[in-house]
Amino acid sequence: MATFILRRLLALIPLLFLISFIVYGLVLIVPGDPSFTLAGGTKADPATIIRIRHELHLDESFLSQYWRWVTHAIQGDLGHPLFNRGTVAENIWQRFPITLSLALGAMVVSFLIGIPAGIVAATRPGSWLDRLMTLGSSTGIAMPDFWVAILLISFFAVSHNILPSLGWVPISESLWGWFEHLILPCVALGLAGGATLARQLRGSLIDVLDQDYIRSARAMGLREREIIGKLALKNAAAAPLTIAGIQFAYLLGGTFIIENIFSMPGLGSYLLTATGSKDLPVIQGGVLVVAIIFVLVNLAVDIGYAYLNPKVQLQ
Amino acid sequence: MSDALLTVSGLGIEFAGADGWIQVVEDVGFSIAPGETLGLVGESGSGKTVSALAVMGLIARANGRVSGSIQFDGRELLELGDDEMRRVRGDEIAMIFQEPMTSLNPAFTVGNQIARAVRAHQSVSRASAKARAVEMLDLVGIPDAHRRVDDYPHAFSGGMRQRAMIAMALSCDPKLLIADEPTTALDVTVQAQILDLIRSIQAEFGTAVLFVTHDFGVVADICERVAVMYAGEIVEEAPVHEVFVRPHHPYSEGLLASMPQAARPGERLTVIPGQVPRPGSLPDGCRFHPRCSYAQPVCIAGPVPLTRRIQSGSDAASARCVRESELTLAGAPEISVATSPSAAVGAASAPLLEVRGLRKEFPIVRGFLRRVQGHVHAVDGVDFSIAPGETLGLVGESGSGKSTVARLVLRLIEASGGSVVFTPQAGEAGQDILQLGGRALQRGRREMQIIFQDPYSSLDPRATIANAVGEPLEIHEGLRGKVRDQRSGDLLELVGMGRHMLSRYPYEFSGGQRQRIAVARALALNPRLLVCDEPVSSLDVSTQSQVINLLADLQERLGLAYLFIAHDLSVVRHISHRIAVMYLGRIVEIGPAGDVAHSPTHPYTEALLSAIPVPDPVRQRERKRIVLEGDIPSPTDPPSGCRFHTRCPYAMDVCAVDDPAPFETPNGTTVWCHLHTTGPTLAGDTVLSLPTPVSSGASV
């Protein structure tokens, strides 16, 4: 298992280089020149523009720009924002916990909804509970997260005033405050994932419960709770786990919108602002961080997959 | 029998179907005394497995109804609640299944699964449950049990998995073991090991066994009493000797006669015509009458009761046949020892297929840097030829490389070396299939076709029979529409089916019918050579005989040549002109079928033959058998010298060092074995045949 993880980690190095190259390149081919904006827009005089371009190294070749950026990035230096103070790395680091709490919280909500619903439906296929789950999950998948967010806000915050609808409290300040502010955004973001997970789990669990080894377990007189909760679930978890990895990318995208709706000062709103003003170092740094998170999550999925299916480690 | 451990009576089982409940088992009764072995025999669809599952309480209430009575050790199992029944399962009655490859959970270690079973019935610590797992694995003969207990099932071979299943089943000392076709998916050599294991466990612990099987050879080997099932009923029950010597039901007689061991070479195999009726569409009167050669109007008059000849004790016998008293039925036929008469087919003409030095290595990538760490030598220098119209049988255990040879010959996978020269038209120059490319290869392939083992997965479930059979005609001859269907219909009739079946889908057919369809498809392009990769292994005995007879007829009519691959020597012996025996990627013996099958010259052939149970309870139990130890070694690192020396009962020092040279016997058999060349004096100067030929246990 240790060799397996180490090998997968090493395989990430060329992948991360490729990602950084694409991230850096994509932003540069977007039309428009930030030095033009910085120099004062339409009123800018050409000499200032040239000076700023030189300061930002925009007059160098693409490869040397990229090399400068990537060698700094490896050392944790993502440069300075064009329109803000501080460094890009600092700014990201401040906002990162918010986005991470939101994404992980949404994952937890997905699991809390998807796993029990999937098990209940799979163990009673065709029953009214199963049909209710299928109907519920179709609805859950069909509803866009921003719309769910608005519904939740209007019910829990506006009409009944049970939960706060806006803002963010750091965990260091108040644990309850942090938790309370996360509930609505996490539910809004995690609902669709939970519905997808429930369907996936139902399908694969029904297949697994039909396998010979489940019959063997029953023939040995094992309790149904142990058969479903341990023996079957470990086999059935592989497919939903793969889906969960892909879902996480969707979740990260979703945080951008949800952060805006709930006025949370996270990575998403920061990047959104930077995109509007063409703040290249922020966009490049932010996208790189998001891409790395995504790659790491999928590594975790692969490792989980190897745990669930011991044959994978051999290959 | 008040002292019986298990008494089943009036057992009825119904399943929910689209139009209400369908009765699949009716009025089934049998009993087993402590320590006794009862064989429950019948073809698939007879209801034997379902009856066993009912005893286990494993028929789901949601779609199954069980009625009647199942008395076990003083209790009525059908009256027990779910949790009470769960406590009986595994603890007092345990069960092992047909498919060892899928019966263990792939995500948990073998030891974990056994320990869970122990902890489900006994309140012991995890550590002592695991200790029990090691003890049980050791008992069933898993070498190095304390280490293997932490392995996952995929690290176990099929035979070892079945041993592990037995270890799990016995972990709580059950009084009754239900074995549902436990050896059907295994090689004969491994089957012999598993049967010995079950016997020794019975002797040691006094466990009673309900042995569900379709194989009368296995019955002869292990059972004391036999209950024969047909279409959901018991048609005959009697002590094993009686069934074999004088069966009292025509179905028992038919099953005994259709065993391939019973056939004389060159003759057609005896078959029971037709197939087991499906539940819900049973014939009136005696359920067997449409297939029975003794049927008369009286058989259709009404349901036939089970009549007892002898009332009680271990001699109790009964049969369900109205004409029982008038008929004198034949028992198991004598095993034919005659040599094959047709050994010389096409020997004079140029070979149709000439295989020389065929090799296939699969690289193994391992470790941190994923470098090639070695090779699996799946096929390692194989030579043989097939004449036009000839059948070459290729036998060996799983892992011997025989299916790889089939795929290499058709170039479904690329060879690592050697040549496969194919000469479809006598007199023309042959072509090396391995060197052809593009269109030339496509043309070459028209003349050589393949049929596979599993007729359930080799036909596209969403294509009609017309499409399945007509596809090669479309691809190679551009036929479409009516012309194509006309030809497809002709092909179906050629294999004994009707052209009205063209518009149907595969699921509407039984296994034997599907295999006929696969044969029709293979014949669409008039091939010269048909590669048959275990074509009857997954079929019932009587269906198996039907397909083999069909293949023999087609050979006669069309002059086809067959490369016939099977692990079952008794089937191969019947259909082949010559037989090649493979072990670990090499041919160890090749020669005329009769000689190889009746006077083997290689110790491996001898062991394979010895492992086939003889369908005669007396001889099977008396004869001295060679049971090979362990499994076939890994082809990654094959043994030095003669590859068989690690399991060979005759192994000498030289065998571990030198590769044996080929030796030709006067009969025309070529054998690779030191006994014949450098060997000392086993039977004179050279050894012409080994002491234990197939069925002549009495002569040893």
Domain residues of chain B, as ranges?
A: 335-447+525-700
pLDDT tier for residue A9 given thresholds of 50, 70 and 90 = confident
**How many Å lie between the alpha carbon of A118 and the closest alpha carbon of chain B?**
20
pLDDT tier for residue B687 given thresholds of 50, 70 and 90 = low
Average pLDDT, chain B: 86
- Per-residue tokens: A101: 């709490």
Helix (H) or strand (E) holding B230: strand B225-230
Q: Which of B308, B156, B168 is nearest to B238 (CA)?
A: B308
Q: Looking at A158-162, B625-629, B694-698, which range is the least confident one?
A: B694-698
- Which chain A positions have a beta carbon within 8 Å of B121's beta carbon? 221
Whether A1 contacts A313, CB under 8 Å: yes
- Which chain A positions have a beta carbon within 8 Å of B88's beta carbon? 221
- Least CB–CB distance from B86: residue in A214, A223, A310: A223
> Which of A220, A222, A235 is the mutation pick for testing B, counting most B CBs within 10 A?
A220
- Is the per-residue pLDDT at B699 higher than 60? no
pLDDT of residue B348: 56
Q: Looking at B201-210, B277-286, B358-367, which range is the least confident one?
A: B358-367
- Least CB–CB distance from B107: residue in A218, A222, A234: A234
**How many Å lie between the alpha carbon of B87 and the closest alpha carbon of chain A?**
6
- Least CB–CB distance from A222: residue in B107, B116, B165: B116
Task: Test A226 with B120 for CB contact under 8 angstroms.
Answer: yes
Whether B581 contacts B325, CB under 8 Å: no
Higher-confidence residue of B361 and A312: namely B361
pLDDT of residue B50: 93
pLDDT of residue B683: 43
Task: Test B154 with A311 for CB contact under 8 angstroms.
Answer: yes
Nearest residue on chain B to A232, judged by CA atoms? B105
- Is the per-residue pLDDT at A222 higher than 60? yes
- Is the per-residue pLDDT at A54 higher than 90? no
**How many Å lie between the alpha carbon of B266 and the closest alpha carbon of chain A?**
41
**How many Å lie between the alpha carbon of A6 and the closest alpha carbon of chain B?**
9
Phi-psi region of B684 (alpha: psi -120 to 50; beta: other; left: phi over 0): left
Domains of chain A: 17-74 (no CATH), 96-314 (1.10.3720.10)
- Is the per-residue pLDDT at B241 higher than 50? yes
- Least CB–CB distance from B94: residue in A214, A220, A222: A220
Task: Test A221 with B91 for CB contact under 8 angstroms.
Answer: yes
The whole-angstrom distance between residue A179's C-alpha and the CA centroid of its chain comes to 19
Average pLDDT, chain A: 86
**Is the CB of residue A218 less than 8 Å away from at least one CB of chain B?**
yes
For every residue of A18-37, DSSP letters joined together read HHHHHHHHHHHHSSS-HHHH
pLDDT of residue B698: 32
Spatial distance between the Cα atoms of B241 and B616, rounded to a whole number of angstroms: 8
Task: Test B105 with A310 for CB contact under 8 angstroms.
Answer: no
**How many Å lie between the alpha carbon of B636 and the closest alpha carbon of chain A?**
16
pLDDT of residue A164: 84
pLDDT tier for residue B509 given thresholds of 50, 70 and 90 = confident
The whole-angstrom distance between residue B218's C-alpha and the CA centroid of its chain comes to 11
Q: Which of A84-93, A124-133, A261-270, B113-122 has the highest mean pLDDT?
A: B113-122
pLDDT of residue B489: 92
- DSSP letter at B69 equals E
Whether B197 contacts B141, CB under 8 Å: yes
Nearest residue on chain A to B154, judged by CA atoms? A311
Place of tokens 């990035």: A73
- Per-residue tokens: A296: 């790491």
Q: Looking at A85-94, B434-443, B548-557, B682-691, which range is the least confident one?
A: B682-691
Task: Test A221 with B89 for CB contact under 8 angstroms.
Answer: yes
- Which chain B positions have a beta carbon within 8 Å of A7's beta carbon? 368
- Is the per-residue pLDDT at A6 higher than 70? yes
**How many Å lie between the alpha carbon of A76 and the closest alpha carbon of chain B?**
29
- Least CB–CB distance from A219: residue in B94, B108, B367: B94
Nearest residue on chain B to A6, judged by CA atoms? B368
For every residue of B309-324, DSSP letters joined together read EE-SGGG-EEE--TTT
Q: Which residues of B touch A (CB under 8 A)?
A: 56, 58, 86-91, 94-95, 97, 99, 102-108, 113, 116-117, 120-121, 152, 154, 165, 168-169, 367-368
How much is the average pLDDT of A59-75? 84
Q: Which residues pair with B211 in a beta bridge?
A: B39, B179
Higher-confidence residue of B461 and B373: namely B461
**Is the CB of residue A124 less than 8 Å away from at least one CB of chain B?**
no
Spatial distance between the Cα atoms of B531 and B566, rounded to a whole number of angstroms: 11
CATH code assigned to B335-447+525-700: 3.40.50.300
Task: Test B169 with A311 for CB contact under 8 angstroms.
Answer: no
**Is the CB of residue A2 less than 8 Å away from at least one CB of chain B?**
no
Task: Test A220 with B56 for CB contact under 8 angstroms.
Answer: no
> Which of B95, B96, B105 is the mutation pick for testing A, counting most A CBs within 10 A?
B105
pLDDT tier for residue B697 given thresholds of 50, 70 and 90 = very low
**Is the CB of residue A234 less than 8 Å away from at least one CB of chain B?**
yes
**How many Å lie between the alpha carbon of B107 and the closest alpha carbon of chain A?**
6
How much is the average pLDDT of B11-19? 89
Task: Test B89 with A219 for CB contact under 8 angstroms.
Answer: yes
- Is the per-residue pLDDT at A246 higher than 90? no
pLDDT of residue B319: 92
**How many Å lie between the alpha carbon of B171 and the closest alpha carbon of chain A?**
10
Q: What ipTM does the predicted assembly reach?
A: 0.81
**Is the CB of residue A217 less than 8 Å away from at least one CB of chain B?**
yes
- Least CB–CB distance from A219: residue in B95, B104, B368: B95
pLDDT of residue B36: 93
The DSSP bridge pattern shows strands B6-17 and B64-72 to be antiparallel
Task: Test B105 with A213 for CB contact under 8 angstroms.
Answer: yes
Nearest residue on chain A to B97, judged by CA atoms? A216
The DSSP bridge pattern shows strands B176-180 and B93-96 to be parallel
pLDDT tier for residue B685 given thresholds of 50, 70 and 90 = very low
Cα angle A281, A283, A286 (rounded to 5 degrees) comes to: 100
Q: Which residues pair with A220 in a beta bridge?
A: none
pLDDT of residue B696: 37
pLDDT of residue B694: 42
- Is the per-residue pLDDT at B700 higher than 60? no
Helix (H) or strand (E) holding A9: helix A2-29
Q: Looking at A245-249, B126-130, B688-692, which range is the least confident one?
A: B688-692
- Which chain B positions have a beta carbon within 8 Å of A220's beta carbon? 89-90, 94, 116-117, 120, 168-169
- Which chain A positions have a beta carbon within 8 Å of B89's beta carbon? 218-221
Q: Which residues contact B548 (CB under 8 A, 6 or more apart)?
A: B260, B269, B536, B571, B574, B575
- Is the per-residue pLDDT at B537 higher than 90? no
Whether A188 contacts A150, CB under 8 Å: no
pLDDT of residue B311: 66
**How many Å lie between the alpha carbon of A3 and the closest alpha carbon of chain B?**
7
Cα angle B27, B33, B34 (rounded to 5 degrees) comes to: 135
Task: Test A217 with B169 for CB contact under 8 angstroms.
Answer: no
Place of tokens 């497995």: B49
**Is the CB of residue A239 less than 8 Å away from at least one CB of chain B?**
no
**Is the CB of residue A17 less than 8 Å away from at least one CB of chain B?**
no
For every residue of B567-609, DSSP letters joined together read S-HHHHHHH-SEEEEEETTEEEEEEEHHHHHHS--SHHHHHHH
pLDDT tier for residue B11 given thresholds of 50, 70 and 90 = very high
Spatial distance between the Cα atoms of A23 and A287, rounded to a whole number of angstroms: 7
Task: Test A221 with B87 for CB contact under 8 angstroms.
Answer: yes
Higher-confidence residue of A50 and B670: namely B670
- Which chain B positions have a beta carbon within 8 Å of A310's beta carbon? 106-107, 152, 154
pLDDT of residue B341: 46
Q: Looking at B138-152, B206-220, B615-629, B644-658, which range is the least confident one?
A: B615-629
